[in-house]
Every structure is written in structure tokens, then in C-alpha cells.
A = this chain, B = another copy of it.
Amino acid sequence: MSPIFKVAIDAMGGDFAPRAPVEGAVLASRHENTEVFLVGDVDKVQAELANFDSAGLPITVIPSKGKVEDHEPPALALRQKPEASILVATGLVKKGLADAVISMGSTGGTMAAAVIILGTIEGIERPAIGGPIVGSAPNQTILDLGANIDCKAPQLLGFGVLGSVFSSVLLQIKNPRIAILSIGSEEGKGNALAREATELFKNSGLNFIGNVEGNDLATGKADVVVCDGFVGNVVLKLVEGLGSGLAEQLRSMLGTAMPSDNVSKLIKELYERNNVVDSRGGGPVFGVNGVSIIGHGSSGPDTIARAVELARMCVDTKLIEEMNIQVPRVMATAG
């Protein structure tokens, strides 16, 4: 029998909180060997739980006070709300009571709580966020996607090794190919940051394949693509925006050629194929010393349950342990 997986879910985080996290917790708790801690305002969480037949399910409600709002500066909010749901939930991991924490709330808040409470892995100063963003390359991990805006070359190296471990351990990609997102495929092409990072990667021992360009993101030429969070966030949002725009175009173009139900079905299928972030439920905070998963604010219960599965995989595959071995070794090569 496998050991019980214990997960803390931030019941107050996300656009549809506490309803969606509570329902997601109910779904997840029906999985064998899973125990859920629902962290939030007890009255609100209990009221939502009452909508489900949760008697006998391994769900424990843990009280917290307040939450980090999307518009709040995360560090300040955490100081002002020492019992905020994300702090209490992340604290359960630190105390060893939970194996992982999941939040659909403020990305900045989740990251800040993870850094403060779990700390960063040796060699990493600030964590990163990453994941697949292009439907045609669902196992391509791109990072950073917006947490680190003005980067130095060693940070890109950090993204590379974190992505490499994630790719090999969790996605089971053997000897993952690491690339820098740049312009021009030849070595040395790109901005000053890309050129400096190239030198670091060449000495890193990672399976560095050089530059990839914007178009290569669609074909998944590399398994791990690093860029500063400014570029990554522009790319992430552009892909989202183009997807929505395209759905509109297709609807108008196909309007006469196909029955409208079929058009809707097609667009839905295309959307799902391309919404790779959602299909995995979320992504880890890369670089912190514990499993903390960030989901999309708009996640529904199914997506939240998928995030729980992702967290379970991170724990089962010993992702953090492996990062603690490989990351310091690679970061030391940057001198």
C-alpha cells in the first residue's frame, strides 16, 4: 500500500473561492490514499462543504484569517495578514503535516509565502514560474513566465537546471534539451543577457542545445526553454490572446460551412488542445524547498483536482529532493 498523500488546499484563493477549492478538495479526497487540509475561513468553508456529501471523506478544515488579494503587494500583504490562508497552508508543509500546498489565489502571494516559509533551494535566490504554454508542445517547459522581470545570466542558468530536473523527474524526459529563447539560431545571436547566459550554460554540464527562436516554441525543439520573465510573460499572454482571437475568426469563417454545434465543438476541442496550462492543473513554484503548486485563478473543481494530482506526482517522484542534489551542483559552475 502506498503512503497517504497529504495536501493543503488554500480554500480562499481563486476567482471562485471558496466554492471551487472546496469542491476540488472533495473530488481529490475521493482518490485513495489522499488526505486534504482545507485552509480558510472556517464558517465559509464549512458552508460550502455542506453542499457535498463529505461525511467520511478525509478532509480537515484548518482555520485561517484573511487572504492575499491579487492587487496587493504580496510581501506587504503577508506581513499585514500573518494568518492569511496561503501562509497557514504553506506552513502545514513546513511542519511536515502536509506534503504539498496548492493555491489558485494571488501568484505573488503563493510565491512569497513559499519563499518565506519553505525557503529556496541552495543556489537559487528567487523562485520562478514555468510550464508548457503552447498546445503543440505540451511537454515543453518554459520559464520564467513572469516572476523575474529584469534578469541576470545566472538566473537563466537557474531556470535551466530547475526546468531540467522537472523535465527529467516529473515528465520522464531523458536528458532534456535546454535552450535559451533568443533571436537567431546561431550561437552568440541575441541580446546581452542571452549571450552571457550562453557561456554559463556551456559550462554547466546540462544538455544545452543553444538558442531557440519564437517559432520553435510551437514545435517543441527544446524540452526546457529559458527566458527572462518579461519576455516569458509577453509570450504567455500573446499565446492566450491569439487563441481567443482565433476562436472568433474560426467561428465566423466556419459559420456557413458547418452546423453551429459542430463549430462550437471544434472550437472547444481546439481550445482544450491548446490550453495546456489548464490540462495539468497548474505548475510548481520552481526553486523553493517544497512542493507548492500555483493554479490559474479561474480554475474550476476539476482543474483543482488535477493540480492535486500534479502535486502528488511531484512528491512521488521526489522532485524537490532531486532539485536539492542537482541545482547547487549546476549553480556552482557559474562561479
Determine whether A238 belongs to the interface, using a CB cutoff of 8 Å to chain B. yes
Say which residue of B190, B191, B245 sits within 8 Å of A218 (CB atoms): B245
Q: Indicate if the CB atoms of A191 and B150 lie closer than 8 Å.
A: yes
Q: Indicate if the CB atoms of B181 and A234 lie closer than 8 Å.
A: yes
Copies of the polypeptide in the assembly: 2
Q: Indicate if the CB atoms of B218 and A244 lie closer than 8 Å.
A: yes
Q: Indicate if the CB atoms of B218 and A241 lie closer than 8 Å.
A: yes
Q: Indicate if the CB atoms of A240 and B253 lie closer than 8 Å.
A: no
Q: Indicate if the CB atoms of A230 and B266 lie closer than 8 Å.
A: no
CA of A270 to CA of B248, assembled, Å = 12
Q: Indicate if the CB atoms of A246 and B245 lie closer than 8 Å.
A: no
Stretch at the interface among A4-12, A161-169, A254-262, A276-284: A254-262
Beta-carbon contacts under 8 Å, A201-257 to B: 213-219, 227-231, 233-242, 244-246, 248-250, 253-254, 257
Interface size on A, residues (CB 8 A): 50
* A291 neighbours in B (Cβ, 8 Å): none
Beta-carbon contacts under 8 Å, A105-162 to B: 134-136, 146, 149-150
Determine whether A183 belongs to the interface, using a CB cutoff of 8 Å to chain B. yes
Determine whether A75 belongs to the interface, using a CB cutoff of 8 Å to chain B. no
Q: Indicate if the CB atoms of A214 and B190 lie closer than 8 Å.
A: no
Interface-centre pick from A183, A216, A250, A269 (highest chain B CB count, 10 A): A183
Determine whether A325 belongs to the interface, using a CB cutoff of 8 Å to chain B. no
Beta-carbon contacts under 8 Å, A51-86 to B: none
* A219 neighbours in B (Cβ, 8 Å): 241, 245
Q: Indicate if the CB atoms of A234 and B235 lie closer than 8 Å.
A: yes
Cβ distance A168 to chain B, nearest Cβ, rounded Å: 25
CA of A190 to CA of B254, assembled, Å = 38
Q: Which residues of A contact B (CB under 8 A)?
A: 134-136, 146, 149-150, 181-183, 190-192, 194, 213-219, 227-231, 233-242, 244-246, 248-250, 253-254, 257-258, 262, 266, 269-270, 273
* CB-CB nearest 9 A-B residue pairs: A215-B241, A214-B237, A214-B238, A218-B241, A218-B245, A183-B233, A136-B245, A215-B237, A214-B234
Other A-B contacts than A149-B190, A218-B244, 12 sampled, CB-CB below 8 A, are A149-B191, A150-B191, A182-B230, A183-B233, A191-B230, A214-B236, A215-B238, A215-B241, A216-B241, A238-B238, A238-B239, A253-B270
